[in-house]
C-alpha cells in the first residue's frame, strides 16, 4: 500500500470515528448556548449512559431496544437532576464557578460508577455489525462505519430540529440575551433544562455507540475532553460547526496514530487548540457577530 | 373587568443602597396611552423595570409600594410570567435578537401563549403594520436599520398580544421622520387593538401629542400629573420639557 493510500485510509477511518465526537460536541454546544457554561461532565454523562445500557441488557437481560430506552430515560433523568440541583442555583454566578461544578459532577459520576461496576473493562451486547464496509479499495471497520452513520443521522436531525423548531428559536434567543428572552415570555430556566435533555440524548447515543466500538470502562468518557477542546477551537459559535469539530478530532486521532507513537494521540487536540488560539484568539469560526455596518 | 395598571407608593433601591424611586404613583387606565416625563435619572426606566420585574437582574429591589394589574399583584411574579399576564416591555435600545432572522424574532415572542389566533396570523398582522419587515423577514435582525429594529421590537409586542405595552424611548437615536412614522403606528395599535401603553420618552413634544395623560417624575417621585392638555399648558412643562420661551420674569 502506498503512503498516499495509507493516508487516505487512515483519514477516512478517522473521520468515521468523528461522527460520535460530533454527537458529543453537539451536547456540549447546546448547553453552552443555553447557559454559557462548559459542561465538563459531558464525558461522564455518556459513560454513565453506557453503563445504564449494560445494566439493562446484561444484568436485567432486556433486549437492546428496551435497553436503549432504559439508558435514554435514565440519562435524561440524571441530566435533569444535575441541572436542577447543581446548575440552576449557580446560574448568574461566575463562569469558572459553574465550570468547576460540572467538573465536580464528572468526578462524582466516575467515582460512583467505579464503586458500582468496578474499574474493569466490560463488554455490552453487540448492536453494530462487524462486517466491514468497503469504500472502493478502502476498508472501513464495520462497527466504526455503522456508528458513524447512526451518529451523523442523529446529529443532522438534531441540528435541523434546533434550526427550524420554536424550541430551537428559544434556545438561540436565550443564547443571545437571557434578559431579552425573558422579556419575550420565554422561561429561560426551562431552556437550560431543555439543553441538558438534548445533551443527555446525544451523550446516551454516543456513549452506547462508543462502548460498542471499543469496550466499556469508567474512562470511556475521557474523549469528551478532547471534543471540548476542539469545540472551543471552533469558537463555540455555531451549532452547525459540531460536525466539523467531530471530524477534525477523529481525523487528528487517526493521523497522529499513523505518524507518531500512540501516546501522542492524547495530546494532539490540545496542541492544535493552543496553536490556533495563539494565532486566532476567537477560534476558527467564532468572533464574527452580526452587526450593521 | 377593566385591566388597569396601578402603581402605588413605589420605592426602589439598587444594591440595597441607591434609592431610585421614593414615592411613585402611576395609573394606566384600560386602552389609554400614558406618558412618563422627566429628566435623566428621574426614575422613568426604573419604573418600567419594576413593573416588568427586571430589577432583580440589575440588583434592584422594590422595598415599598404595590403594582397591580386588574387588581392582581404583580410584584412577586418572574419576568416571563408577567409577559404571560399581558404586560410586554419594549426595552430601551430595542434589543432585537441580532443573530435571529426577523421572523425568528417574532417566533421568540410567541411563548407567552396569550392568543388563540394562529402564529402565522400574528406574524402577518405585524407585517401589515410594518410592511418593510415582511420584505426582510428572512434576514438577520442585526442587519436592520435602527428604525426597522424599533419596528421589530414593537412587532414582537404585537405577536405577544398584550393588554399593556411598556414602551421605553422608542424614538431613541432615530431620525425625526421615522419617529413620526413609528408613533403613528403606535397610535394605530393602541386604537385598533385596544392595548394600553405606558410610554417613557425624552421627546416630550411627541409624548404629549400621542398620550392622553402624563406624569412628571423628579428624583424618583411623581411631582405633577394631568391630562396632556393640562400638561402642555403648564408653564414649567413648557419651559423645561417643550423648550417654549415664556415671558422673562
Mean pLDDT by 10 residues, chain B (249 residues): 83 93 94 93 94 91 93 90 94 94 96 88 96 96 96 96 95 93 96 96 92 94 93 87 64
Domain count for chain B: 1
**What's the confidence (pLDDT) of residue A234?**
65
B98: chain A residues, CB-CB within 8 Å: 176, 289-291
Give the model confidence (pLDDT) of A28-47 as tens digits: 999 998 888 889 999 999 99
On whether residue A254 sits in a domain, the answer given is: no
In whole angstroms, what is the distance from residue B10 CA to residue A288 CA? 43
On whether residue A209 sits in a domain, the answer given is: yes
On whether residue B171 sits in a domain, the answer given is: yes
Contact A172 B79 (CB under 8 A): no
On whether residue A235 sits in a domain, the answer given is: no
In whole angstroms, what is the distance from residue A273 CA to residue A256 CA? 15
- How many pairs of residues across A and B have Cβ atoms under 8 Å apart? 83
On whether residue A194 sits in a domain, the answer given is: yes
* pLDDT reading at A107 higher than 80: yes
On whether residue A2 sits in a domain, the answer given is: no
Chain A interface mutation, best of B53, B93, B108, B166, highest count of A Cβ atoms under 10 Å = B108
* pLDDT reading at A275 higher than 90: no
On whether residue B129 sits in a domain, the answer given is: yes
**Alpha carbons within 13 A on the beta-carbon side of A8:** 9
The domain spanning residue B66 has which CATH number? 3.40.50.300
Place of cell 451486547: A125
Cβ-nearest to B100 among A173, A185, A292: A173
A173: chain B residues, CB-CB within 8 Å: 97, 100, 104, 108
On whether residue A107 sits in a domain, the answer given is: yes
> Residue A194: how many CB atoms within 10 A of its CB?
19
- Is residue A222 within 8 Å of residue A211, measured between CB atoms? no
Best CA proximity match to B207, nearest among B177, B234, B167, B175: B167
ipTM score for this prediction = 0.90
On whether residue A281 sits in a domain, the answer given is: no
Contact A289 B98 (CB under 8 A): yes
On whether residue A187 sits in a domain, the answer given is: yes
Domain count for chain A: 1
What's the domain range around A41?
A: 12-222
Contact A180 B89 (CB under 8 A): no
What's the domain range around B179?
A: 5-240
Give the model confidence (pLDDT) of B1-32 as tens digits: 457 999 999 999 999 899 999 999 999 999 99
Residues near A277 by Cβ (< 8 Å), separated by ≥ 6? A232, A233, A283
Where do runs of H (alpha helix) occur along B166-216?
A: 176-193, 204-210
Amino acid at each position: 500500500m502506498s503512503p498516499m493510500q495509507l493516508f487516505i485510509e487512515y483519514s477516512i477511518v478517522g473521520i468515521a470515528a468523528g461522527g460520535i465526537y460530533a454527537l458529543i460536541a453537539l451536547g456540549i454546544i447546546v448547553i453552552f448556548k443555553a447557559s454559557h457554561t462548559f459542561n465538563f461532565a459531558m464525558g461522564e454523562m455518556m459513560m454513565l449512559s453506557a453503563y445504564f445500557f449494560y445494566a439493562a441488557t446484561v444484568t436485567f437481560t432486556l433486549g437492546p431496544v428496551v435497553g436503549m430506552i432504559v439508558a435514554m430515560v435514565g440519562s435524561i433523568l440524571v441530566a435533569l437532576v444535575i441541572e436542577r440541583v447543581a446548575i440552576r442555583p449557580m446560574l448568574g454566578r461566575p463562569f469558572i464557578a459553574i465550570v468547576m461544578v460540572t467538573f465536580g459532577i464528572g468526578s462524582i459520576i466516575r467515582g460512583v460508577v467505579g464503586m458500582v461496576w468496578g474499574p474493569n473493562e466490560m463488554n455490552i451486547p453487540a448492536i453494530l455489525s462487524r462486517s466491514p464496509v468497503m469504500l472502493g479499495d478502502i476498508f472501513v471497520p464495520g462497527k466504526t462505519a455503522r456508528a458513524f452513520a447512526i451518529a451523523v443521522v442523529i446529529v443532522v436531525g438534531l441540528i435541523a430540529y434546533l434550526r427550524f423548531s420554536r424550541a430551537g428559536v428559544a434556545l438561540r434567543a436565550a443564547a443571545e440575551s437571557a434578559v431579552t428572552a425573558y422579556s419575550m415570555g420565554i422561561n429561560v430556566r426551562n431552556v437550560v433544562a431543555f439543553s441538558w435533555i438534548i445533551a443527555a440524548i446525544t451523550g446516551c447515543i454516543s456513549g452506547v455507540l462508543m462502548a460498542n466500538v471499543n469496550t466499556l470502562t469508567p474512562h470511556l468518557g475521557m474523549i469528551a475532553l478532547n471534543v471540548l477542546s476542539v469545540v472551543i477551537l471552533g469558537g463555540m459559535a455555531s451549532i452547525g460547526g459540531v460536525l466539523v469539530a467531530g471530524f477534525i478530532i477523529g481525523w487528528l486521532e487517526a493521523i497522529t496514530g499513523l505518524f507518531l507513537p500512540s501516546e501522542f494521540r492524547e495530546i494532539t487536540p490540545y496542541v492544535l487548540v493552543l496553536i490556533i488560539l495563539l494565532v486566532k484568539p476567537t477560534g476558527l469560526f467564532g468572533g464574527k457577530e452580526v452587526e450593521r455596518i | 373587568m377593566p385591566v388597569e395598571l396601578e402603581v402605588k407608593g413605589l420605592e426602589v433601591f439598587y444594591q440595597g443602597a441607591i434609592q431610585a424611586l421614593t414615592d411613585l404613583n402611576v395609573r394606566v387606565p384600560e386602552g389609554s396611552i400614558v406618558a412618563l416625563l422627566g429628566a435623566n435619572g428621574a426614575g422613568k426606566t426604573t419604573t418600567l423595570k419594576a413593573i416588568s420585574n427586571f430589577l432583580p437582574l440589575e440588583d434592584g429591589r422594590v422595598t415599598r409600594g404595590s403594582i397591580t394589574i386588574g387588581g392582581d399583584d404583580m410584584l412577586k411574579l418572574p419576568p416571563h410570567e408577567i409577559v404571560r399576564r399581558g404586560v410586554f416591555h419594549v426595552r430601551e435600545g430595542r434589543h432585537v435578537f441580532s443573530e435571529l432572522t426577523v421572523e425568528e424574532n417574532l417566533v421568540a415572542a410567541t411563548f407567552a401563549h396569550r392568543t388563540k389566533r394562529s402564529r402565522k396570523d400574528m406574524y402577518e398582522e405585524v407585517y401589515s403594520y410594518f410592511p418593510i419587515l415582511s420584505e426582510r423577514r428572512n434576514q438577520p435582525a442585526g442587519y436592520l436599520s435602527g428604525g426597522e429594529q424599533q419596528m421589530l421590537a414593537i412587532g414582537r409586542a404585537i405577536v405577544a398580544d398584550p393588554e399593556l405595552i411598556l414602551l421605553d424611548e422608542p424614538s431613541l437615536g432615530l431620525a425625526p421622520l421615522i419617529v413620526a412614522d413609528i408613533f403613528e403606528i403606535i397610535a394605530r395599535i393602541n386604537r385598533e387593538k385596544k392595548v394600553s401603553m405606558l410610554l417613557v420618552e425624552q421627546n416630550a413634544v411627541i409624548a404629549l401629542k400621542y398620550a392622553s395623560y402624563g406624569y412628571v417624575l423628579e428624583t424618583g417621585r411623581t411631582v405633577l400629573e394631568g391630562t396632556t392638555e393640562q400638561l402642555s399648558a403648564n408653564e414649567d412643562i413648557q419651559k423645561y420639557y417643550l423648550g417654549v420661551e415664556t415671558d422673562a420674569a
